[in-house]
Chain A
Amino acid sequence: DTGVSQDPRHKITKRGQNVTFRCDPISEHNRLYWYRQTLGQGPEFLTYFQNEAQLEKSRLLSDRFSAERPKGSFSTLEIQRTEQGDSAMYLCASSLVGYRGQETQYFGPGTRLLVL
């Protein structure tokens, strides 16, 4: 079973450092999403790609955040100059857009980031 995978699962960093997360979607899925989940909250949308094109970015995605999906396969999410407020679970999801735009997002296990 090749579901969505994320790496690393956990990351502890010091404030001001840069971090990069990777997401490998389900093969043949053309859309890939990033969400952030803080304690006691539901996931919040950050950005998404259709193939290699980044189609939408949330206002939550400050200029310290950047995401890429080269060649429409895996994706990376980089946070520069991390702040304690960036501590959260970062979730990746992928989907295959179907009839009438219907799609189901399947989530990976997430990367838990702690900024000290």
Chain B
Amino acid sequence: AQSVTQPDIHITVSEGASLELRCNYSYGATPYLFWYVQSPGQGLQLLLKYFSGDTLVQGIKGFEAEFKRSQSSFNLRKPSVHWSDAAEYFCAVAGAMSTLTFGKGTMLLVSP
């Protein structure tokens, strides 16, 4: 069975600083990987996805993620964080049955 680990429960970043959120997955075959963002009390918004091909994928709101098979990682990055990026971020992997397995999330706090 697949699993996702997001090692950081909370991260605080100064506005304008760079951001990297870590995600490690466990899955026997080539994974389909996703990052979603959730604002308080809201549903999940898709930031980006990886199916195959170029291991560096671009998403919305200036986010990007890099798939590294050797490290079983799919870390999310943004060069300059804005106060509106404060939210909870979830990494997910799609298994053979297409259902998504999510990590526990990383809460991003942005300080002025």
Partners in one complex: yes
- Residue on A nearest B51 in the bound complex, by CB: A102
Which residues from A are CB-within-8-Å of B97? 55-56
Q: How distant is the Cα of A16 from the Cα of B42 in the complex, in angstroms?
A: 27
Interface SS of chain B:
strand
List which A22-75 residues lie within 8 A (CB) of chain B: 31, 33, 35, 40-45, 48, 55-56
Q: Which of A83-116 contact B (CB under 8 A)?
A: 91, 93, 95, 97, 101-110, 112
Q: What is the chain A residue whose CB lies nearest that of B100?
A: A105
Q: Is the CB of A91 within 8 A of B98?
A: no
How many interface residues does A have (CB within 8 Å)? 29
With the chains together, A102 CA to B44 CA distance in Å? 19
Q: Is B112 an interface residue (CB 8 A)?
A: no
Most buried by B among A44, A56, A105, A110: A105
Binding site for B on A (CB under 8 A): 4, 6, 31, 33, 35, 40-45, 48, 55-56, 91, 93, 95, 97, 101-110, 112
Question: A-B pairs with the 6 shortest C-beta distances?
Answer: A42-B102, A107-B44, A107-B43, A109-B43, A45-B99, A110-B43
